[in-house]
């Protein structure tokens, strides 16, 4: 079956493998970019109020400072 080609077909298999790896890398990068764009923020971003709550919980802020900053952020509930 392969006798007429004398082995030249095997180089195209390797080239096809390289193209397939590039294809899937591009698909994965596009999907990751789409997810980031749809969610509007990266996974490690925190909102300002979350950071403020964490600082208050650690004791970096007094209650008065926390309440004032919370009001400044518009979270004065």
Check residue 72 and give left, alpha or beta (phi > 0: left; psi -120 to 50: alpha).
alpha
Query: For residues 67 and 53, what is the distance between their CA atoms, to the nearest angstrom?
Result: 10
Say if residue 56 is exposed, middle or buried (CB neighbours under 10 Å; 0-12, 13-18, 19+). middle
**Do residues 53 and 39 both lie within one domain?**
no
**Do residues 33 and 68 both lie within one domain?**
no
Domain coverage including residue 24? 1-43
- Residue 6 confidence (pLDDT) above 90: no
Entry pTM:
0.42
Q: Would you state the pLDDT for residue 73?
A: 84
**Do residues 16 and 27 both lie within one domain?**
yes
Q: What is the pLDDT of residues 7-63, one digit of tens each?
A: 566 666 777 888 899 999 999 999 999 988 888 765 455 688 888 999 999 999 999
Question: 27, 13 in Cβ contact below 8 A?
Answer: no
**Do residues 14 and 32 both lie within one domain?**
yes
**Do residues 36 and 58 both lie within one domain?**
no
Tally of domains within the chain: 2
Query: For residues 48 and 54, what is the distance between their CA atoms, to the nearest angstrom?
Result: 10
Q: Would you state the pLDDT for residue 62?
A: 94
């Amino acid at each position: 079956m392969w006798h007429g080609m004398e082995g030249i077909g095997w180089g195209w298999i390797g080239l096809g493998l390289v193209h397939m790896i590039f294809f899937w890398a591009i698909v994965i990068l596009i999907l990751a970019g789409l997810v980031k764009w749809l969610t509007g923020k990266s996974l490690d971003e925190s909102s300002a109020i979350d950071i403020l709550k964490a600082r208050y919980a650690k004791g970096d802020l007094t209650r008065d400072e926390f309440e004032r900053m919370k009001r400044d952020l518009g979270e004065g509930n």
